[in-house]
Amino acid sequence: MGSMKNVLLLVVAAAFALVVAYTQWSHLSTLSEKERLTAMSGFPIVGQMAPGFSLPDLAGGAGDLADYAGRPVVIDFWTTWCGLCVKEFPVFQEFHRVYGDRIGFLSICSGSSDKRAAEMRAANGISFPVLYDGEKVVARAYQPPADRKDRQVSLFPFAAFIDATGKVVYAKAGIFHSLDELVSLLRRLDFPVDAPPS
């Protein structure tokens, strides 16, 4: 009798799981691709208005998210100890050159040393501005999910995508291997990659 009860419980649990999966699939299938990406991102910041910030840049000036009001923005978060981060610098360099007039781009280093960040910028021929978030305040606001309230940012690189209304519509951990990969994602998010240059 006990094994029959266990089998019945297993069947009920499996049926429940199928109903939940079908409901989720049904819901996702009614969404646009942009809405599906947003729903599946897994970053707590997605769907919220982007937290504002102003940070020093490595050239002695400052950068402010408010400077991009009314424009979509890509924010790349990296750090000085991340070997993978360097691999996507050429992708963002090309992105900034080709699409910088239509889509804002902010590169934020959450390194342990602004001097080391400046050395990495120079060594990699980066011409786009790099902001420095030494205390990781901005990175924590946008970071991937974590279980602890006192979480430390430990996953680099990651990127956040903000639409022209100021809402974070997507976030992604990991690197972009090519400009085509990045542009394909931006197209799916309805960013103006196909608009003529201004």
Model confidence at 63: pLDDT above 70: yes
Query: How many domains, in total, are found in the chain?
Result: 2
Q: 175-192: per-residue pLDDT in tens?
A: 999 999 999 999 999 999
Same-domain status, 87 and 23: no
Do 133 and 83 reside in the same domain of the chain? yes
Decide if 37 is inside a domain. no
What does residue 142 show for φ and ψ, rounded to 5 degrees?
Answer: -105, -5
- Structural domain for 96, as ranges: 54-188
The encoded tokens of residue 74 equal: 């890509």
Q: Within a domain: residue 83?
A: yes
- Please report how the helices 2-29 and 33-40 are oriented relative to each other, as an axis angle in degrees rounded to 10: 140
Coil, strand or helix at 133? coil
The pair of structure tokens assigned to 116 is 């080391």
The pLDDT tens digits for 128-141 are: 989 999 888 898 88
Strand 62-64 vs strand 54-56: parallel, antiparallel, or unpaired? antiparallel
Indicate whether 64 and 119 sit together in one domain: yes
Cα Dmax for the chain: 76
Burial (CB count within 10 angstroms: exposed 0-12, middle 13-18, buried 19+), residue 56: middle
Reported confidence tier of residue 61, pLDDT bands at 50, 70, 90: very high
Does residue 96 have a pLDDT over 50? Answer: yes
**How many whole angstroms from its chain centre is CA 38?**
11
**Quick check: is 41 in a domain?**
no
Q: How many CB atoms lie within 10 A of CB 87?
A: 13
Q: Is 171 left (phi over 0), alpha (psi -120 to 50) or beta?
A: beta
Same domain assignment for residues 93 and 24: no
| β strands within 41-95, DSSP E | 54-56, 62-64, 73-78
What pTM was estimated for this model as a whole? 0.77
Q: How confident is the model at residue 25 (pLDDT cuts 50, 70, 90)?
A: very low
Neighbours of 146 (CB within 10 A): 14
